[in-house]
Amino acid sequence: MSKMKRLKDYLFPAIVIAGIGLFAFSGRTNATGADYVYDGEPEIVAATFSSAWCSSCKILKPRLAEIIPDFADDPVKFVEFDFTFGQRAEIFEQAKDEGLEDIYPRFKGATGFTLLVDTDTGEIVDMLTIRHSKSAMRAVIAQAVAAAERKLETPAP
């Protein structure tokens, strides 16, 4: 076997593996807001359903990433369900950990949006999409947090 043939036999798989790695990890922003975690119990969970191949996500996630720091002191938690590699069991486990096991089955596999969920009731309060500007996203999230906090302050009859 020639030296060139052996090189091709090893080089092609190496290039393919490197390409897969670049696809999986390049240009992806973290919409979970791991650097901006609220210390207390969140009143709202902002769950982004995304994937690397989703064109709407390429617009939504950078906008969201820019406004997440604005909510560092508010009772909102940002999480992401990434379907780049399919609907894996660990994504459902993540949803359960966040208290979203009832909502997750209705939306699993769909991408390009962020659900705002009230942690006390489990209800979807609102949805962010690419139609929302950054300022509109800020307003919608702030309104959801304010409504959740008012609900806590209102005494039960």
CA–CA distance, 50 with 125 (Å, rounded to integer): 19
The number of helices, as runs of H, and strands, as runs of E, in the chain is 5, 4
Which sequence spans correspond to the domains of the chain?
A: 41-153
pLDDT recorded at residue 152: 62
pLDDT recorded at residue 29: 43
Predicted confidence band of residue 11 (pLDDT cuts 50, 70, 90):
low
pLDDT recorded at residue 26: 42
pLDDT recorded at residue 154: 57
Which of the two residues, 55 and 25, has the higher pLDDT score? Answer: 55
Which of the two residues, 152 and 28, has the higher pLDDT score? Answer: 152
Both tokens assigned to 52: 């690397």
Which tens digit of pLDDT belongs to each residue from 70-111? 999 999 999 999 999 888 999 999 999 999 999 999 998 899
Fold for 41-153, please state it: Glutaredoxin (3.40.30)
Give the chain's largest Cα–Cα span: 85
